[in-house]
Structure 1
Amino acid sequence: MLVALSDRPYNDLAGLIAYAKDKGRATIAVAGINQEVLVRQLAQEYNVNLVPIPGAGAAEAMTSALGGHVDATTQGTLHVAQIKSGKMKQLASIIDRRVPYAPNSATLAEQGSKAEPLNSHTMLITPRGLPDPVKTCLKQALDEAIRTPDYKAQMDKFENEALNLGEEGNRDLNARLADFYAKILAKN
């Protein structure tokens, strides 16, 4: 998610873009190359100086934001407690959907951006040539496990949601993302 301290003078992507144009730039602490790519996409799309500030991970990015050293940060889940405490606000969902803990925070696409949303998935990968009966059994067991109350409770604990894209869905997602990042990183 794209988040900022609650006292910042912007509440959404448009506000952050206007702030950056007015001030000449806005700094955004990021925890990974995919987040840096996203910030650079937004800078190019809106013709504004958005400066990604890479760090050693999400905790460092959060510390930079909480300390007021940057104008915003991209986060996975560390920001949720800060939002609940009132210290931070979410400017945009940088994944392809709104999230349960911030249902009023629109996605980048809903806010008019064409930037590629981030994706984060946990995948079960098996060796090539797995016998069909074993593959079918694993697919069924995974689907059942994802729908259990215990797994839902675990996902709720992490402010996340369980999705099962299935074999084809994962293959399609990985192919699309591999193509996207190959193209975007080749330009840089």
Structure 2
Amino acid sequence: MTSGPTRGQPTTFRGRIVATPYERALHVVVYPTCEDDLLRLLEFAEARRVALIPPGGESSVVGGIEPDVPPNYAGVLSVELREMRAVREIDQLSRRARVQAGILGPDLEEALRREGLAFRHCPQSYTCSTVGGWIATRAGGRSATLCGKIETAVESMRVVTPRGRVETRKVPQSASGPGGKAWFVGSEGALGS
């Protein structure tokens, strides 16, 4: 039998060896259930200088979910959005769906399939990653050459930030004017959840 790592030694994080001293480890995992919970959490974190890490399906391959924050932060919280995984609306006519960020790929696909629709976005981590994670990382996938990356499928977004909610316009893609979704797609969750 072996004992766990001592302070400063590498620890195992989902099969990946990471040099994570215990003082930079996650302190708490939180499970918000609605946008209001997220807003209160962001306000709390900003006021107390606490880092928030939204791990999505924990399928990151670039270290985006590891608690590598500056030492002047008071703590690190993992924000699990698995309680925010509802399909809010499916519009058959426009082929538009409104979903929460914590929904997994297979769950979204099943909800759409029941309506005779399909999403056709298949990143390698499809079975264990979330729509919010796809958007935050600008996910591609094996169908990207045909259907495009995730930003081509995102029409609008409602994002919770420490300053409140931001909602982009609900219009089909346009080549004119600034696109608000461009601020958030690929931002790795740094600008909001």
Q: Structure 1-normalised TM-score? A: 0.24
Higher RCO structure, 1 or 2 (CA under 8 Å, sep 6+): 1
Q: Which structure has greater helix proportion?
A: 1
Q: Structure 2-normalised TM-score? A: 0.24
